[in-house]
Amino acid sequence: MGLDQYVTLGRSGLRVSPFCLGTMTFGQDWGWGSPVEEACRVMDAFMAAGGNFLDTANIYTKGHSEKIIGDHVGRHPAKRDRLVIATKFLGNMYPGDPNGGGAHRKSLIGACEQSLRRLQTDWIDLYWMHFWDHLTPIEETMRALDDLVRAGKVRYVGFSDTPAWKCAQAQTLAEFRGWSPVIALQIEYSLVERTVENELMPMARELGMGVTPWSPLKGGVLSGKYTRANKDAVEPSRGQWVKNHLTERNLSIVDALLRVAAEAGATPAQVALAWVQARPGVASTIIGASTVDQLRDNLGALEVRLTPGQTAALDEASAVPATFPQSFLPYVKNNVQGGTTINGVASEPWHLAPRTEAERW
């Protein structure tokens, strides 16, 4: 599978590449990241390989990430028209201004106008709510987003980092009102972070939201650079943050990752990316790249095919316990199915069920 083997995003006809280029590191305004020239080379290499999906946010590198994208591709119609450019609202760019951020109408529409200016485009292909704003009624957010779609300034709507119950409420409201639906869900998902499998992943599949995982390498923890052997000697570029995530559980996952990578003839990072991209419900995984070489290494994950045994080994090493009610529901199978087999799932008669007509009241 190559970067030009496109997939439709959620319950929509929007075609995106199987990897999305995350641009949070475009610009050095936060004290780290890619200089402008390298960021442009990364975009060019991504597009040359067939990639068409870029992800940014209004707050990334203080707005510079959007500006870099706008300068390099937004102002050039031939490049811009072929791209799916996604950005996010909600982050506050104006300290001291209570309306400078949020998912309410004033902030949302203002943020959209500012992103359009920085991106140097007339429309945003996919507009994400960056995270849940518990201060704003969701109907206000969904109506404002629908207004932007109807005005032609936004083409599609997505949610990021929002509880499953709130996503479900928003989607149901949009369907009932005839507003633009949420077609995509951006959440953290990796071998290290699998708790999303309890609620968010099944919700997204049921309600037509294509999942775009962020941090599939957990900030470098799954890159293969940090192992039991060197975890105390190597100083990660992100310092204490990475060290804090080199827990016993995560190191056990890295152990399994290294074994599978050796078997598959791939790098640990490629295997970790291949694992998450193959998960049910995942549409396009967001990859970050500070350099062209790093981008090319990550793109190699699209050629990795894990065997069932290799996938099972990674699943076992990274498994997380189910939360309620998922932890309870498997035990009601016999009660529900009455000893029959449905969709290939067998059951036994519930031991407390009546066995004869005479026992039924």
What positions carry a catalytic annotation?
60
Give the contacts of 65 (CB within 8 A, at least 6 positions apart). 23, 24, 26, 27, 56, 57
CA angle 317, 330, 185 (to 5 degrees): 65
CA-wise closest residue to 82 among 55, 53, 56, 57: 53
Residue 82 CB: number of other CB atoms within 10 A?
10
CA angle 75, 79, 83 (to 5 degrees): 105
Q: Cα separation of 249 and 186, whole Å?
A: 25
Q: Cα separation of 24 and 34, whole Å?
A: 9
3-class DSSP state of 87: strand
C-alpha 88, offset from chain centre: 13
Angle between helices 268-277 and 308-318 (to 10 degrees): 90
CA-wise closest residue to 184 among 161, 210, 163: 210
CA-wise closest residue to 200 among 153, 33, 336, 209: 209
Q: Cα separation of 129 and 57, whole Å?
A: 10
**List of long-range contacts for 41-44, beta carbons under 8 Å, 24+ apart:** 41/292, 42/289, 42/290, 42/291, 42/292, 42/295, 43/69, 43/72, 43/73
